[in-house]
Chains A and B, each alone.
Chain A
Amino acid sequence: NAGVTQTPKFQVLKTGQSMTLQCAQDMNHNSMYWYRQDPGMGLRLIYYSASEGTTDKGEVPNGYNVSRLNKREFSLRLESAAPSQTSVYFCASSDRTDVWEQYFGPGTRLTVT
Chain B
Amino acid sequence: ILNVEQSPQSLHVQEGDSTNFTCSFPSSNFYALHWYRWETAKSPEALFVMTLNGDEKKKGRISATLNTKEGYSYLYIKGSQPEDSATYLCAHREYGNKLVFGAGTILRVKS
Q: Give the B-binding residues of A (Cβ under 8 A).
A: 4, 31, 33, 35, 40-45, 48, 50, 58, 90, 94, 96, 99-107
Contacts and interface: CB of A to CB of B under 8 A. Distances in A.
Interface residues of B, number: 24
A101 B2 contact: no
A101 B97 contact: no
Interface stretch (B54-62, B69-77, B101-109): B101-109
Contacts of A45: 98-100
B97 A94 contact: yes
A42 B98 contact: no
Contacts of B42: 106
Given A99-B32, A101-B34, A31 B43 contact: no
B10 to A, nearest CB: 11
Contacts, number: 56
Contacts of B100: 45
Nearest to B103: A42
Given A50-B97, A94-B97, A100-B97, A42 B104 contact: yes
A45 to B, nearest CB: 7
A31 B93 CA distance: 14
Interface of B: 2, 4, 9, 32, 34, 42-46, 49, 51, 89, 91, 93, 96-104
A85 B32 CA distance: 30
Nearest to A90: B43
A99 B31 CA distance: 10
Contacts of A101: 34, 46, 49
Contact of A99 (B49, B98, B103): B49
A96 B44 CA distance: 19
A83 B59 CA distance: 41
Contacts of B44: 43, 90, 102, 104
Contacts of B32: 99-100
Contacts of B9: 40
A105 B43 contact: yes
A108 to B, nearest CB: 11
